[in-house]
Structure 1
Amino acid sequence: MFITYLRRELRRRRKAALVVASGLALGIALVIVVNAVSAGMNRAQGRVLESLYGLGTDMTVTKAATPPEEGGTAQRPRFRFDAGDGDDARQSQDIVMVQGFETLAASTAARVGEQDGVADAVGGLNVRVMKVDGQFERGQFEQEPGDARRGGPAGAVRGGGADFDVDSYTVYGTDVTRQELGPLTSSKITSGRTFTAGETAADVAVVDSAYAQEKELKLGGTLTVSGTEFTVVGIATADSGDAAADVYLPLARAQTLADAKDKITTVYVKAADSQRIASVKETIQKNISGTTVTTSADLAQTVSGSLSTAADLAAGVGRWLSVVVLVAAFLVAGLLTSSAVSRRVREFGTLKALGWKSRRVTGQVAGEALVNGLIGGALGIGVGLAGAWAITAFSPTLTARLGAGGGGGAGGGRMLGAGPGGAGGPVREGASRTLDIALTAPVSLTTIGLAVALAVAGGLVAGGFGGWRASRLRPADSLRRVE
């Protein structure tokens, strides 16, 4: 009886049911789109952070570089070339420098790994190589016409000079026995292989694909650093954005080249529980003095540009807008249902006169409203999925900019640290780093479940309005009124 009556009433009042369902659908669709865009923003920011941190890394431990004393000068690279009387010869020299941070003892990684809440910790060394290559050319003495008659070797030296090429690239020393943490994990080996555990002191290198293309390095070729030839065993491509370094070497070899034996610049940390990252950060800072601990949340605060603006908009204005629209949709649905009840006074009065109790009349109205809510939910999910697909297909590319404004070192000859105090892992040199990120709007099962819950809630709200109105009707009063 209930189902039959429900189906007949919905069919008879199709327009009113469609209006109620459409209002709920609009609010639910907006919630789906806003949640999808917010999830897309989080995913985009995650891709930016992965390109800096490395997959699986929750935080980094570093020590900020000591600023030069007042009146002193910062250490600068110096190149010296020998000059001889022989033929012109080609000159080449590399300077390998620890870059960006103050060095830490290699044992710091083990100490960090022993802290409560730390699942794993591994050290790495950030290095910059500056290479000068070229040659001097001896000038030729040319005697001026008439100088011989004046009895002197007068004349001028013409030609000659120097032609040198300066190249600079970043190197990251990797602990080849534990490659599950660190920047190399944010790249995928697209040619060759990665390091093996037995190559701790081997002259092998993994090269970023962009740098390999620029320098025409091939798999199996060689890269010369400070007179040592390293065989290229793998070429890696960053999963998103730029690679953390141009060249990756075994940690021990990078330490030797940079004259930093048993030294590291960064400890990459994996927390045992993602919910305890803040407490693990406090523990490390307390027990290992003089270090700066930077989490992915700290690093995210340095993200600016259109990605950050869009993320703030989705998180703030978008959610408030969806809440307002939902409240308005629920109120409209409730008022329309209540209005429909007032137009069915005679009908409900007759039903009560035939023996229907107020509870049954209220249930009938609530059931109709609940079905309207479910219809609105189905429409809202469809419209929301279409909106999310349109955003993914046609949205413009967003820009994420990571610079020194967040507290990292910037400019000059420093390797940027994206987090406070210069922490956050190796990043390419420059005043800021810009990444282009394509915005997506993924819709999760949780979002769909939320939409269904909102549809049911909207139906119950509308049914509550109408049911309360219907429960107050008295048969005698209802029958006196004409529908």
Structure 2
Amino acid sequence: MFFTYLRRELRRRRKAALVVASGLALGIALVIIVNSVSSGMGRAQEKVLESLYGLGTDMTVTKAAAPPGEGGATRPRFEFDANGDDDAAAQSQDRVMVEGFQTLASSTVAQVGKQDGVADAVGGLSVRVLKINGEFRRGEVQQQPGQGGTTPPGGGGGGGGVTGGGAAFDVDSYTAYGTDVAHQQLGPLTSSTITTGRTFKTTEANAKVAILDSAYAKEKSLTVGKTLTVSGTAFSIIGIATADSGDSAANVYLPLTQAQTLAAAKDKITTVYVQASDSQQIDGVKQAIQKNISGTTVTTSADLAETVSGSLSTASDLASGVGKWLSMLVLAAAFLVAGLLTSSAVSRRVREFGTLKALGWRSGRVTRQVVGEALVNGLVGGALGIGLGLAGAWLITTFSPTLTAQLGGGGRGFGGGGQARQTASKALDIALTAPVSLTTIGLAVALAVAGGLVAGGFGGWRASRLRPADALRRVE
């Protein structure tokens, strides 16, 4: 009887039911789209961080900056000789410097790994290579015509001089990262995919091998099998890595031991990359490391996310702020309108409900009938809203608007070293997506049911107050 009456009444009042369902559908669709865009923003920010510091990194540990005037950076020094009988004396020198000039002992990795809540910790060394190539050109003495080969007493050169001398040098600068080849699961190299050749083997801790970023390899016309000479040491290129998004963290990847040797930084690292055993414990792990390991600075992914600027940050703020508030207001308005329309419909059915009560229907049964009709309207609105929300999210993902993200703000970086500061000045282009999760769909269903219950509550309360005698005296 309940479902028969329900089906008949919904069919008879399909226009009113469609209006209620449409209002709920718009509110639910907006909630789905806003939540999906916010999720896409979160993924975009994670992609920015991963492109710089590697997949799975929750925080980095670096050495606290030295006070002004203490332990300052040393400038690279180049010394050239202009000896030799050649007309042009070619010169070439490399200087390998620790990037950031602040190092930690390699034993810090083990100390960090022992802290509660740390699932994994891996150390690495960031260096910069400055390469000077050029030549000195010997000058020639020029004399005026008719002048002898000797200089007159008293000095002057009779208008002659030395011409054609000088020097021409090119400066090449690139970054290199020392990778712990026995623990490659964390660190900048994980943000790139090996597209040619292979990655390091665990047995190559002290091998003279290198992996090059694809952009740098293309610029220098280097391929797998060729050699790269760094400060007089030839490294065999075993792989080419392509950054998954944005720019790579380094131009060249070397075994950690080799990078330490080149930079004269034996048993030194610049960064410890840390993965927490539980994402909810990141703040606690950060506090424990800073408390138990003196002289360190811990930067979490959340800290770095605060420095992301550009259109990605602006859009994220709009989605999480204005968008969520707007969706909640629209949804609340939809609930209110649905409730008022249902209550109004009940007032137009006074005679009908009065007759049902006169025939023996209790107030509770009338109320359940009204709530049932409103609940069906809510479910229909939920289905329409899910359809509209999925369509909107699909359109956003299909057209994929490009957002820019820039890490900045005073050179602060996740790694705390020069590598982070170098990348911080570069803008990354990220394609926005709007993934719809099962949680979002579940939220939409819950909102549809809630909308139906709210509307049914309005109408049921109104219907329960009707008295048969009063209802039968009214004429529609």
Same fold by TM-score, threshold 0.5 exceeded? yes
- The Cα of 1:431 is off from its aligned counterpart by 6.7
- Runs of 4 or more, structure 1, over 4 Å off, are 149-154
Superposition map of 1:68-467 within 5 A = 68-69=68-69, 74-87=73-86, 88-148=88-148, 154=158, 155-405=160-410, 408=412, 418-419=413-414, 423=416, 426-427=419-420, 429=422, 432-467=425-460
Which amino acid is the alignment partner of residue 59 of structure 2? M
- The Cα of 1:393 is off from its aligned counterpart by 2.5
Q: Distance in 2 between matches of 1:275 and 1:243?
A: 29
Q: Is the 8 A contact 1:266 1:425 kept in 2?
A: no
- The Cα of 1:273 is off from its aligned counterpart by 1.3
Q: Is the 8 A contact 1:170 1:428 kept in 2?
A: no
Alignment partner of 1:51: what SS? helix
Alignment partner of 1:329: what SS? helix
Alignment partner of 2:275: what SS? strand
Range with bigger deviation, 391-400 or 298-307: 391-400
What do the CA deviations read for 1:396-422 (whole angstroms, capped 9, x no partner)? 3111111233x61xxxxxxxxx14xx6
Which amino acid is the alignment partner of residue 443 of structure 2? L
Q: Distance in 2 between matches of 1:256 and 1:447?
A: 52
- The Cα of 1:425 is off from its aligned counterpart by 8.2
- The Cα of 1:140 is off from its aligned counterpart by 2.2
Which amino acid is the alignment partner of residue 309 of structure 1? T
Q: Structure 1 residues 209 and 18 mapped into 2: Cα distance closer, same or farther (>3 Å)?
A: same
Q: Structure 1 residues 73 and 358 mapped into 2: Cα distance closer, same or farther (>3 Å)?
A: closer
Q: Distance in 2 between matches of 1:251 and 1:210?
A: 22
Q: Is the 8 A contact 1:54 1:184 kept in 2?
A: yes
TM-score (norm 2): 0.95
Which amino acid is the alignment partner of residue 13 of structure 1? R
What do the CA deviations read for 1:103-144 (whole angstroms, capped 9, x no partner)? 111101011111111111111001000000111111222222
Q: Distance in 1 between matches of 2:423 and 2:375?
A: 59
What do the CA deviations read for 1:78-121 (whole angstroms, capped 9, x no partner)? 11111213102321000000011411111010111111111111
- The Cα of 1:314 is off from its aligned counterpart by 0.6
Q: Is the 8 A contact 1:122 1:181 kept in 2?
A: yes
2:4 equivalent in structure 1? 4
Q: Is the 8 A contact 1:95 1:129 kept in 2?
A: yes
Q: Distance in 2 between matches of 1:451 and 1:332?
A: 18
Provide the aligned length of Structure 1 versus Structure 2: 470
Q: Is the 8 A contact 1:205 1:233 kept in 2?
A: yes
Q: Is the 8 A contact 1:62 1:101 kept in 2?
A: no
- The Cα of 1:377 is off from its aligned counterpart by 0.5
Alignment partner of 2:426: what SS? strand
Q: Distance in 1 between matches of 2:217 and 2:102?
A: 29
Q: Distance in 1 between matches of 2:423 and 2:249?
A: 13
1:479 equivalent in structure 2? 472
Q: Is the 8 A contact 2:59 2:299 kept in 1?
A: yes
Q: Structure 1 residues 424 and 58 mapped into 2: Cα distance closer, same or farther (>3 Å)?
A: farther
Q: Distance in 2 between matches of 1:305 and 1:437?
A: 11
Which amino acid is the alignment partner of residue 81 of structure 2? D
Q: Is the 8 A contact 2:52 2:423 kept in 1?
A: no
Alignment partner of 2:78: what SS? coil
Q: Structure 1 residues 431 and 186 mapped into 2: Cα distance closer, same or farther (>3 Å)?
A: closer
Q: Distance in 2 between matches of 1:235 and 1:442?
A: 31
What do the CA deviations read for 1:341-368 (whole angstroms, capped 9, x no partner)? 0000111111111111111111111111
Q: Is the 8 A contact 1:52 1:424 kept in 2?
A: no
What do the CA deviations read for 1:176-222 (whole angstroms, capped 9, x no partner)? 00000111111111111100011011000011111111111101111
- The Cα of 1:51 is off from its aligned counterpart by 1.2
Q: Please, which runs of 5 or more residues in structure 2 have no aligned partner?
A: none
Q: Is the 8 A contact 2:73 2:101 kept in 1?
A: no
- The Cα of 1:74 is off from its aligned counterpart by 4.5
Q: Distance in 2 between matches of 1:76 and 1:2?
A: 87
What do the CA deviations read for 1:14-69 (whole angstroms, capped 9, x no partner)? 11001100100010001001101100110000001111221111111001342551
- The Cα of 1:281 is off from its aligned counterpart by 0.5
Range with bigger deviation, 50-59 or 367-376: 50-59
What do the CA deviations read for 1:263-297 (whole angstroms, capped 9, x no partner)? 11101111111110110110000000000011100
Identity of paired residues, percent? 77
- The Cα of 1:11 is off from its aligned counterpart by 0.9
Q: Distance in 2 between matches of 1:133 and 1:140?
A: 23
TM-score (norm 1): 0.94
1:43 equivalent in structure 2? 43
Q: Is the 8 A contact 1:34 1:319 kept in 2?
A: yes
Alignment partner of 1:404: what SS? coil
Which amino acid is the alignment partner of residue 330 of structure 1? F
Alignment partner of 2:422: what SS? coil
- The Cα of 1:474 is off from its aligned counterpart by 1.0
Which amino acid is the alignment partner of residue 481 of structure 1? R
Q: Distance in 2 between matches of 1:45 and 1:151?
A: 74
Q: Structure 1 residues 310 and 221 mapped into 2: Cα distance closer, same or farther (>3 Å)?
A: same
1:411 equivalent in structure 2? none
Which amino acid is the alignment partner of residue 266 of structure 2? K
Q: Give the superposed CA RMSD.
A: 1.7
Which amino acid is the alignment partner of residue 77 of structure 2? R
